Amino acid sequence: MFRFFSTSRQGGPDIAIDFGTANTRVVLRNGGIVFEQPTASCFSSKGGKELFVSAGSDAFAMLDRVSDGLHIRRPLARGVVQDLGAASVYLQYVVKTVMGRLRLGRPSAMVGIPADATKAEASALRTVLSDAGFGRISLVKETYAAAVGAGLDIGAARASMIIECGAGTTEIAVFSIDGECLIRSVRGGGQSLDEALIEHMRARHQFLIGLRTAERLKHAISRKISLRVGDSSGIGADPSNHMVEIKGRDLRTGLPATRLLPSAEFQPVFKKHLVPIVEATRGVLATIKPDLAADLLTGSIIATGGCASISLLSEMITNDTGLPIEAVNDEALCVSRGLETLMAG
């Protein structure tokens, strides 16, 4: 269905795309990341027809703020295309923004895709890329690209392990001798955690917040909550010193309001969301060959992706498996950097 990609300069792709559920990043050969915007498009409904209004950062700024007649569509869900029309329009926006100045007819593209994507999901991605104006298309497993981007020596005759924590899907993979030994996926990531935070505020505080506020809340507390009782910072500090301000609408009064809450309150929400990732990690470790498992005792599990910075994830995995976990620098950019390396051949 899709393969690991290797290319020469002559036959390589013109562009690489990390087409993510939350954000899309575009890499040009020898040009680095030239595009980084939210994966969202805005449409208007007039006379029974949908008209494109904007995409990327401009569309995301309208999220939860659009008036009647305008609506925001997110092309991807759980890492794969869910809205073919919105995906095609969004990628056309990418082509116009990035590729126009290169004067290429139908640029070739290397695109990341979840490792567990079905044939139908891969076909849908190829279709929207072709409709958007791309020519030859190569699909690369995101875990492989992330491992390359994180600097893992996946060609060595020893095991390395990575957890790619995306907005729509989380994937755990073990590599050895430039090959994938085992992979497991959890269809759920940072976006489902945003939704869980919205539900928590609604159910516990009768307080309504939007997706953008939930995302900011997630980032504000992701490095502060801890498994340690009475500790929201991970360093033994009083959790009352780590309050988060949340703006939204009080459902009891119907009026705009602000809530000031301790970050430790959200530990159960994060923990419930992270348990499937911990269980999948344990499942991988319980399945790989003994010699590969022994290799992992002398290193760390590497975490990449936007949710890799959640300190609670590291604690939970280490407590459950006994293995340390380490988030790399600029963890959200690992797939893009890996694609850039693979493009260079």
- First and final C-alpha spacing in the chain: 21
Contact 132, 91 (CB under 8 A): yes
What whole-number distance in Å separates Cα of residue 100 and Cα of residue 40? Answer: 20
What whole-number distance in Å separates Cα of residue 189 and Cα of residue 166? Answer: 6
Residue type, 288: I
Burial of 50 (0-12, 13-18, 19+ CB in 10 A): middle
The DSSP line for 75-101 is SEETTEES-HHHHHHHHHHHIIIIIGG
What whole-number distance in Å separates Cα of residue 171 and Cα of residue 149? Answer: 15
Q: Considering the entire predicted model, what is its pTM?
A: 0.89
Helices (H), the chain: 57-60, 84-94, 119-131, 142-149, 190-205, 211-221, 267-287, 290-296, 311-321, 334-344
Rg (CA), the chain: 21
Strands of 49-55's sheet in order across: 49-55, 41-46, 70-73
Query: pLDDT at position 327, please?
Result: 87
Domains and CATH numbers, the chain: 15-145+334-344 (3.30.420.40), 152-327 (3.30.420.40)
Residue 261: HSE in the Cβ half-sphere, 13 Å Cα cutoff? 19
Query: pLDDT at position 68, please?
Result: 75
Contact 228, 236 (CB under 8 A): yes
Q: Is the dihedral of CA 69, 72, 73, 77 positive or negative?
A: negative
Query: pLDDT at position 178, please?
Result: 75
pLDDT in tens, the chain (345 residues): 344 443 333 468 989 999 999 999 999 988 899 999 999 999 998 777 889 999 999 999 988 887 778 899 999 998 999 999 999 999 999 988 987 655 567 889 999 999 999 999 999 999 999 999 899 999 999 999 999 999 999 989 999 999 999 999 999 999 998 788 899 999 888 999 999 999 999 999 999 999 999 999 999 998 788 776 444 444 344 444 589 999 999 999 999 999 999 999 999 999 999 999 999 999 999 999 999 999 999 989 999 998 888 889 999 999 999 999 998 889 999 999 999 999 987
Query: pLDDT at position 235, please?
Result: 38
What whole-number distance in Å separates Cα of residue 87 and Cα of residue 144? Answer: 24
